[in-house]
Amino acid sequence: MIRRSLSNMSIKKKYSRIIAGLIILVILTGAGLYLYINSEQERLNHNQEVLQHKAGTINEMAATLNEVFFRVRGYSLLKSDHELQLAYEALDKLGTVLQAYSKLKLSPEEADFEEALEVYLDQYQKVTLPKAIAFVKQDNYTGLRALAKDGNTQAVNDFLAYTKNYETRSNQQLSDMVDQSLKQANDFTILAFLLSTALLLLFTLMIWRILKIVIDPIVQLEQATNSLAAGEAVLLSKLHKQDEIGRLYEAFLNMAHSIQDKEEELMMQNEELLAQQDELQDQQFKLERSLSEIENMMKALDQSSAVAILSQKGIFTYANENLSEYTGYKNAELTGSTFRLLDVENLADAQKQQIIRKLSTGGVWSNEVRMNMKNGTPVWLHMTIMPYLNDDGEIYQYILIANNITSMKNVQQELAETLKNTEQTKIMLERSNQLNHDITYTLDKQDFAEKFIEFMNKQYAFDSSLFLLVKDNITVVKGVPQENVERYLGSESGNMLHRMRTEKSYITKRPSTLREQGIAPEGTDSYDFYSTVVNAQDDVLAVFCGTRIGHSFSEDEINEIQGMMNRVALAIERLFMYEEIEYGRRLNQDIVNNVNEGIQFVQMDGSMLHMNQVLAQMFGYNEWSAGDLIPKERWSGHFIHTANESDELELFYQKAMSEHFIESSSMKYSLGKESLKHIDMYAIPVYRRETRFGTLFVHRDITREYELDLMKSDLVSTVSHELRTPLSSVLGFTELLLSKTMKPEKQLKYLETIHREAQRLTELINDFLDLQRMESGTQQYNPEPLNLSELVLGVIDQYKLSGTHHILLEDEAQNAEVEVDRDKIVQVLTNLLSNAIKFSPGASEIKVMLHNEPERIVVEIQDHGLGIPNNQIGQLFQKFRRVDNSASKRIGGTGLGLAICKEIIEKQKGSIGIESEEGEGSTVWFSLPLRNASGNRHEDEPIKLSADKEQKPNVMIVEDDYSLSLLLSEELKGKGFRVTHHYHPQEAFEQALKTPFVAIVVDLMLGEELDGWDLIRMLKDDARTEHVPIIISSALDKTDKNMLDNVQKYLTKPYPPGELTGTLQEIVGIRQRSGEVLFPDSSPWDNGE
């Protein structure tokens, strides 16, 4: 890079830099040399000086030492103190000089010397000299001599010799130094010479190089220039240099190239010029030929077109024959006239001005013009006007060329008209198509009628119209004034209908009414068009009436409209058909949706095409809606998993949907968890024209049937058991009677048993028969007026002998008159009592209670038995139902009883119900309407006791004769008492402990174990009951006098019931009079509880 940039640098710059560098080098070398020589010189001088100084010092030292010895000798000789003084001074001086000498730069030898001298001096000064002085003072010269001989003098002499030697040596050294400096100067001279020579050589080399660089290319250039001048090709390679020479080369090359290019160009131009010359000649020839052609053309133009020349002012100067032919003006007439002679029609004055302006600026104008000929005939010309300009650009004349295009124009006009007609036809066709589309796709008649009438009004320009669909009486009117509607249908309708029968369509013409006329001129006529729409059977489907004001109907229009009516007839029939189909479809759908069965139609590929709402509800599947097609995988999974028998259902679906499935088949499955729904499902292959195209699945909810079935089989098993037990007795005892001999009493007993069991059998059978009758609805009821209290008592009487249970009657009903079927009510009571006994095996007491409610009497039968689980109470009154628990299963019974009771009570406008608690017992009640709701009390009541239930005086009758009991209780109830019956003394006593009685009526002759007397004794012995008044009612005479004290009254049977009442009233009356509280709080009966 650097080299490159150097080579690119200009020569001048390059070499001036080199020269400058060299000069600096020379100066620096010179200066360095000078400085070096100078310093060397100085060093030598300095060394010289040092040497001289050292020599001087040593000389001085020698002199001083000499003086010291001299003085010391002097002293030793003279014994002059002065001499010693001087010696000491010299010694001091010697110390000083030695000091100075030691400070000089010393060679090792010199240093040794100096040191020895110093030691010596020290020795001398401190030892020798004082010794010598002492010798001198002692005048001991021998000692002194010895001392001197002892080396001191020798040392001085050595020292002196050394100094002398040193002097010579230093002198020698000095001369060496001078020699050395001279030699050095010599060396320097040689060095300077060599340096100068080297510089000279360098310059020479440089100049030679410059010359080589500059001269060579110049020589080449010269050669190139020569060859250029000689016209030869310049063979000069480009120098890859950017210096002056390089640029010169480039400039030269450029110049050479441009010269060569120019030369070539000139050559080419020359050739071109030659070619142009040829062409020009050619053109001249062609021009000549064209001129003749133009002349011919002009002739032809003159023949074919009208040609005229107008002066600058617009005056015809020339006009050919054609123009006079086109205009009707003769040639002579035209020539000299202005252009205004031509009567141009289709150009306004403003346009004419524009044309003139255009022409006057040199433009050419050309257009179609319509003008009138001289005789007034219109003629179309295609006219072109060209201005002719002179050399100054001024117009000096106009040329007019015109062609007759009248015939072409006419053709054009005709074409346009045809086109317009076609356009109109197209619109009409489009409308017609639209109507076709509308009537094809409209399913609504009203919509159809509206579209049709709109079409008619548009297509045939009716001003008002009416369309009537006869069958549905749909009328659509458009733009019809009321008067027209009346005209169409009203007064003239007779006429219209009459004509319609014979003609499919007709037209009437009449003067327009005022309203129709509107802004139209007076005397306009209106045309009414009547047309029927008939089907193939000639039934009138619809009527169209339309009015056009002012213009009548063409034959074509009438035909078209009639054709239209045929299409409309088809469309209307189609609409009818659609409606019928739609109706049928809806009907089918409604039927399918309203049947109780779930219905599902599945195509062969398994997709579900239809399902009804029942099925959707069954499966809780709401994803299907009408028109949907649900693929199998989307519905079947849900269906299969909803069913409890998923696998079976899946298999069934699979089988039923397969192609091989031909016969219909069915299966049963269940839905739900808590309350099972049993479904019977059957599949039917569906064929259309002998091709299987799907499967119909019908899901029937058979839960009721299923349960009924279960109940029935349950019933059969129960019935068989129930029948077998009495049958066993009947058959068994009969067999015993037949096969064994026995006592007559036993025979009688057997027969009685047989009889009773046979009766039980009969009852059972009657129950079933009742049930059967109820089911078939043939049960007969024979209502008769009767007293329900009596009836209840009578039934209870029959259970008197039952060993296990005691039946207690609490009769509070004041009105027990009802009108019912006696036998049926007895059946109900028997049934309910039997149930109470049957279902309370552990308890002994059953209470029957009667009381009035507004207009009704209520009978309650309460037991303290097993009770009924809460969730089963609701099912109790269903047929074949029995409380489903293990305890009741063991008890037996047809399970029909309550259902029969319910049926009987409800058939007699009563109601029945049950309240129960499991383990506590049940209370079954039923109520019946009273025969005579008002006046339910005897009028001759002497004592009117409070109607309040709690306040009624309680009376207990202990009597085993139920008919008497009944008689008495009726009497007592009538007088406002509450009556409780008992026939067993023990129970009566227990009851008396529980309930406060105003009095107890006791029959003496009671059961076997205890009699009336026992009861009285028990009552009187107990503190809780001793105060209760006792009335004896007995057929026996008074016998036991002792006991009579405890008795309020003794009534001997038979006695009139009034007597008992009187006695009781007396007792109550006494208590009331005496202000005794009937039922004090501290009642002794409470204590026992």
Partner 1 sequence: MQKVLIVDDEDVLRMLIEDTLEDLEEVELHTAENGREAMMKLSRNRFDLVILDYMMPELTGIEVLGLMDEEMKAATPILMLTAKAQDADRNRAREAGARYFMPKPFSPMELLQIVEGILSDKKKPQ
Query: Contact residues for partner 1 (CB under 8 A)?
Result: 717, 720-725, 727-733, 735-736, 739-740, 753, 756-757, 841, 887, 889-892
d(CA 205, CA 56) in angstroms, rounded, equals 58
For the chain, the residue count is 1089
Amino acid at 510: R
Which residue blocks in 79-126 are alpha helix, DSSP H? 81-103, 108-123
Minimum distance of partner 1 from residue 836's CB (angstroms):
15
| Cβ atoms of 984 and 1012 closer than 8 Å | no
Between 270 and 728, name the residue whose CB sits nearer to partner 1.
728
- Cβ proximity to partner 1, 8 vs 720, nearer residue: 720
Residue 51 has which token pair?
A: 């040497």
In whole angstroms, give the CA distance from residue 729 to residue 753. 8
Q: From start to end of 376-479, where are the E strands?
A: 378-389, 395-404, 464-469, 474-478
CB of 662 or CB of 887, closer to partner 1: 887
**Cβ atoms 790, 966 nearer than 8 A:** yes
The smaller minimum CB distance to partner 1, of residues 887 and 1044, is found at 887
Query: What one-character DSSP code corresponds to residue 1028?
Result: S
Least Å from the CB of residue 860 to partner 1: 25
In this complex, which beta carbon is closest to partner 1, that of residue 777 or of residue 842? 842
φ/ψ (deg, to 5) at 149:
-65, -25
Report the alpha-carbon distance of residue 755 to residue 284 in Å, rounded. 164
Q: Is 726 exposed, middle or buried (0-12, 13-18, 19+ CB in 10 A)?
A: buried
Closer residue to partner 1 (CB): 26 or 891:
891
C-alpha separations of 398 from 358, 388, 855 in Å: 12, 6, 134
The least distance separating partner 1 from the CB of residue 726, rounded to whole angstroms, comes to 8
Contact between 952 and 976 (Cβ < 8 Å): yes
Choice between 842 and 1054, CB closer to partner 1: 842
Shortest Cβ distance from residue 882 to partner 1 (Å)? Answer: 13
Quote the least distance from Cβ 867 to partner 1, whole Å: 15
Closest separation in Å from C-beta 737 to partner 1: 10
Q: How far is the CB of 990 from partner 1 (least distance, A)?
A: 25
Per-residue CA distances from 256 to 259, 265, 616 (Å): 5, 14, 107
Q: Taking the complex as a whole, how short is the minimal distance between the CB of residue 838 and partner 1, in angstroms?
A: 9
Smallest distance from the beta carbon of 931 to partner 1, in angstroms? 41
Which of 226/802 has CB closer to partner 1?
802
DSSP per-residue string spanning 21-54 = HHHHHHHHHHHHHHHHHHHHHHHHHHHHHHHHHH
Cα distance between residue 668 and residue 666, in whole Å: 7
**Rounded to the nearest whole angstrom, what is the least distance from the CB of residue 1009 to partner 1 in the complex?**
20
**Of residues 96 and 802, the one with the C-beta less far from partner 1:** 802
Interaxial angle between packed helices 11-78 and 244-304, expressed in degrees from 0 to 180 and rounded to the nearest 10:
160
What's the rounded Cα separation, in Å, for the pair 957 and 965? 7
**Shortest Å distance, C-beta 765 to partner 1:** 15
Residue 818 burial (10 A CB sphere; 0-12, 13-18, 19+) = buried
Residue 1000 in contact with residue 1028, Cβ under 8 Å?
yes
From the CB of 725, what's the least distance to partner 1, in Å?
6
In the bound state with partner 1, the residue whose beta carbon lies nearer, of 866 and 905, is 866
Minimum separation from the CB atom of position 924 to partner 1 (A): 20
In this complex, which beta carbon is closest to partner 1, that of residue 730 or of residue 861? Answer: 730
Whose Cβ is closer to partner 1: residue 464's or residue 729's?
A: 729
Classified as helix, coil or strand, 513 is coil
Q: Among residues 732 and 869, whose Cβ is nearest to partner 1? A: 732
Q: Left if phi > 0, otherwise alpha if psi is -120 to 50, otherwise beta: which for 765?
A: alpha
Contact yes or no for 932/912 (Cβ under 8 A): no
Instruction: State how far the Cα of 114 lies from the Cα of 1050, in Å rounded to an integer.
Output: 192
